[in-house]
A and B are shown apart, each in its own frame.
Chain A
Amino acid sequence: MIAYVLKRAGFSLFVLWGAVTVVFIALRIVPADPALLILGVDATPDQLAALRERLGLDRPLILQYFSYLQGAVTLDFGDSYRLQRDAMGLVMERLPATGQLALAAVIFAVVVGLALGLVAALRVNTFLDRTISVVSLAFQSLPSFWIGLVLVLVFARALHLLPSGGTGSLAHLVLPALTLSLPFLAILARLTRSGILEVINEGYIQTARSKGFSERVVLFPHAIRNALIPIVTVVGLQFGQVLGGAVIIETVFAWPGVGRVLVESINYRDYNVVQACVVVIAAIFIVINLIVDVTYGFLDPRIRLGARR
């Protein structure tokens, strides 16, 4: 088990390095002149030269890369060009808001998604099952910003039940968290349904039934635990999409999280903050994937034994 965890952790570090490098390539190598990118086309040659020197862009690329990596290890991504303060601090300040939003969305999605999937599987091919399936497919396909705007129109503009954006009270959290959770909830409901329907015909379920266990005992420890394995993987994989979705949802609802800082910083060409945002989001995503992998190893011994070979 320890070997398995170490191996996964090593891979996570490798992926994190990859993500940090992708950001470097995207911001320093793709644009012909990052200084031009920051100052815009109206800048004079003198201004450009001064900024290039200040940012160290006149040094060889490989040295820039190493000092950038050094900065990344110490969580130093330079200062915000717009706000004159350190970029990482700015991102960290906004992180709790995004965390709050994502956590509320994930909890709601997991509870409701599992419940709906279970209900659909137990009432398979009934009207209820079909309705859950259709609604799930709809929420899975629709763009989240669109769902968000519809919810604003209905609950904020028409019914005046909830605030349309901003922050401050628990009521402010409801619409953005709901919007963020719906696609995730839909995927979970569909997966739970198909997962349970798949295991329900397995031999060990029949064994449990033939032993005379009640349907509830058959369902809860036997069926659910095995249906859970693919669900845990998808929860992990989809968490990244939730974080990506948060970037868009925060813009729709003026939620003061990392995603909003990211979009604002892009509009102001504040690339140090963009860097910090992307690296922080990627790091969170990678850590969650690691946790999922380890959980997966606990739930299914075949996986960690396979890894030891």
Chain B
Amino acid sequence: MSDHPLPTRWLRLPRLAPARDGGTRRLVVCLVIVIAYALLAIFGPVVTGYNPITTYVQDRLLPPGSLLSNGSVALLGTDQVGRDILGQVFMGARVSMVAGIATLLLAGLIGITVGLLAGYFGGILDSILMRIADIQLAFPSILLAILIAAILGPSFFNLILVLAIANWVVFARVTRSQVLALKNREYVDAARTLGARNLYLIVRTIFPGCVAPLLVVATVEIGHVIVAEASLSFLGLGTPASLPSWGLTISDGRDYLIDAWWISTFPGIALALLVLTLGVLGDTIRDRLDPKLRSL
């Protein structure tokens, strides 16, 4: 990892290596899909005017394309209490993407701080922090998430907290190894000789060199986080009932798989397409930016 170009500015995005195969097209297709999801997540709920509290008993379990009692058409049908599935799918996109991004920010904040401290100062601090990371890695992360989520109870903030606690280790490890590779480089020594203090050295001199691998980690992890969010919500440990995430809607529809297949199917397709796209995107970006991170 020592062959990264010397970072000169605060945050310089790494140049993409030239594509050997159809990587660029794949990258563009994935980005277009992700942007489409983001737009639907932002504007979808505004258009459908989603209301999670009100139930419409007369509109229960209507198939896709049915006319509702208020005169509108439920393109993807309704669920067991008469709520529009399309609205739930849009809302689920918003929940998943916000949860994914917020989790990455929090996990990244914790992990990068730990990694910078452990890598830069070394010694006993490094040993303690990395042993904590080892213990956590020796624990199936979904199990830890289930345990903490069960105690904290379902709320959106708790969900993000739980997912961040379950995912910070990878950020810490990557940051630490990058710091170890960079901290004895000449430009760091030069800055130190010029009188830079530890904080300046860590934040302004070393950290910019960690950005490229961390971006790769973030791209790979966001898909995992969204899957973990959906799994927790599916178990009833994620979002509260008033906030329909895909996992929750899929779980609600399980009892109606024969009579009303559309309840679980549409959020399921939405979730699958997003995580597949993110999987391909993560793979492509990783191969082009930093193939050494392949073990992620």
Q: How far is the CA of A140 from the CA of B148 in the complex (A)?
A: 25
Determine which of A37, A137, A262 lies in contact with B146 in the assembled complex, contact meaning CB atoms within 8 Å.
A262
Residue B40 at the A interface, CB < 8 A? no
Residue A240 at the B interface, CB < 8 A? yes
Q: How far is the CA of A18 from the CA of B258 in the complex (A)?
A: 46
Q: Is the CB of B234 within 8 A of A145?
A: yes
Q: Is the CB of B140 within 8 A of A266?
A: no
Residues of A within 8 A of B142 (CB): 241, 244-245, 247-248
Q: Interface size for chain A: under 10, 10 to 19, 20 to 34, or 35 or more residues? A: 35 or more
Determine which of B134, B247, B276 lies in contact with A138 in the assembled complex, contact meaning CB atoms within 8 Å.
B276
Residue A19 at the B interface, CB < 8 A? yes
Chain A residues 237 to 289 lying within 8 A of chain B, measured CB to CB, are 240-241, 243-245, 247-248, 251, 262-263, 266-267, 274, 278, 281-282, 285-286, 289
Residue B86 at the A interface, CB < 8 A? no
Kindly provide the distance from the CB of B139 to the nearest chain A CB, expressed in whole angstroms.
6
Q: Is the CB of B138 within 8 A of A18?
A: yes
Residue A152 at the B interface, CB < 8 A? yes
Stretch in contact with the other chain, from B3-11, B62-70, B207-215, B277-285: B277-285
Q: Is the CB of A240 within 8 A of B250?
A: no
Q: How far is the CA of A192 from the CA of B56 in the complex (A)?
A: 53
Q: How far is the CA of A61 from the CA of B144 in the complex (A)?
A: 22
Q: Mark A18-36, 1 if CB is under 8 A from B, else 0.
A: 1100110011001100000
Kindly provide the distance from the CB of B259 to the nearest chain A CB, expressed in whole angstroms.
11
Q: How far is the CA of A241 from the CA of B138 in the complex (A)?
A: 10
Kindly provide the distance from the CB of A89 to the nearest chain B CB, expressed in whole angstroms.
21
Q: Is the CB of B152 within 8 A of A157?
A: no
Residue A64 at the B interface, CB < 8 A? no
Number of A-B residue pairs at CB separation under 8 A? 120
Known: A138-B276, A143-B275. A37 touches B138 (CB 8 A): no
Q: Is the CB of A37 within 8 A of B257?
A: no
Determine which of A137, A153, A248, A274 lies in contact with B147 in the assembled complex, contact meaning CB atoms within 8 Å.
A274
Q: How far is the CA of A150 from the CA of B275 in the complex (A)?
A: 16
Residue B205 at the A interface, CB < 8 A? no
Known: A18-B135, A157-B258. A150 touches B279 (CB 8 A): no
Q: Is the CB of B138 within 8 A of A247?
A: no
Q: Is the CB of B148 within 8 A of A281?
A: no
Q: Is the CB of B279 within 8 A of A19?
A: no
Residue B155 at the A interface, CB < 8 A? no
Whose C-beta in chain A lies nearest to the C-beta of B145? Answer: A244
Chain A residues 1 to 60 lying within 8 A of chain B, measured CB to CB, are 11, 14-15, 18-19, 22-23, 26-27, 30-31, 37
Residue A142 at the B interface, CB < 8 A? yes
Q: Is the CB of B139 within 8 A of A285?
A: yes
Residue A194 at the B interface, CB < 8 A? yes
Residue A201 at the B interface, CB < 8 A? no
Kindly provide the distance from the CB of B144 to the nearest chain A CB, expressed in whole angstroms.
7
Q: Is the CB of A244 within 8 A of B143?
A: yes
Determine which of B147, B237, B254 lies in contact with A26 in the assembled complex, contact meaning CB atoms within 8 Å.
B147
Kindly provide the distance from the CB of B79 to the nearest chain A CB, expressed in whole angstroms.
16
Q: Is the CB of B250 within 8 A of A266?
A: no
Whose C-beta in chain B lies nearest to the C-beta of A240? Answer: B140
Determine which of A18, A141, A149 lies in contact with B227 in the assembled complex, contact meaning CB atoms within 8 Å.
A141
Residue B294 at the A interface, CB < 8 A? yes
Q: How far is the CA of A150 from the CA of B140 in the complex (A)?
A: 25
Q: How far is the CA of A285 from the CA of B135 in the complex (A)?
A: 12
Residues of B within 8 A of A248 (CB): 142, 231, 234-235
Q: Is the CB of A19 within 8 A of B139?
A: yes
Kindly provide the distance from the CB of B33 to the nearest chain A CB, expressed in whole angstroms.
13
Kindly provide the distance from the CB of A144 to the nearest chain B CB, expressed in whole angstroms.
8
Whose C-beta in chain A lies nearest to the C-beta of B227? Answer: A143
Residues of B within 8 A of A31 (CB): 151
Determine which of B227, B235, B276 lies in contact with A251 in the assembled complex, contact meaning CB atoms within 8 Å.
B235
Q: Is the CB of B237 within 8 A of A240?
A: no
Stretch in contact with the other chain, from B119-127, B194-202, B264-272: B264-272
Q: How far is the CA of A243 from the CA of B283 in the complex (A)?
A: 25
Residue A213 at the B interface, CB < 8 A? no
Residue A298 at the B interface, CB < 8 A? no
Whose C-beta in chain A lies nearest to the C-beta of B279? Answer: A141
Known: A157-B257, A244-B142, A248-B234. A142 touches B272 (CB 8 A): yes
Residues of B within 8 A of A143 (CB): 227, 230-231, 234, 247, 271-272, 275
Known: A23-B147, A27-B151, A157-B257. A281 touches B250 (CB 8 A): no
Q: Is the CB of A22 within 8 A of B258?
A: no
Q: Show 30 residue pairs from A and B whose CB-CB distance is below 8 angstroms, ordered by the A residue.
A: A14-B135, A15-B135, A18-B132, A19-B138, A19-B139, A26-B147, A26-B151, A30-B148, A30-B151, A137-B279, A137-B283, A142-B227, A143-B231, A143-B275, A145-B231, A145-B234, A146-B230, A149-B250, A150-B268, A157-B258, A241-B141, A244-B140, A247-B146, A248-B234, A248-B235, A263-B146, A266-B146, A281-B140, A282-B139, A289-B138
The 4 A-B residue pairs with the shortest CB-CB distance in the complex, in nearest-first order: A141-B279, A244-B140, A18-B135, A244-B142
Known: A30-B151, A137-B280, A146-B268. 13 other contacts (CB 8 A): A22-B139, A30-B152, A141-B223, A141-B275, A142-B227, A149-B254, A244-B140, A244-B142, A282-B138, A282-B140, A282-B143, A285-B138, A285-B139
Q: Which B residues have a C-beta under 8 Å from some C-beta of A?
A: 131-132, 134-136, 138-144, 146-148, 150-152, 223, 227, 230-231, 234-237, 247, 250, 254, 257-258, 261, 264, 268, 271-272, 275-276, 278-280, 283, 294-295
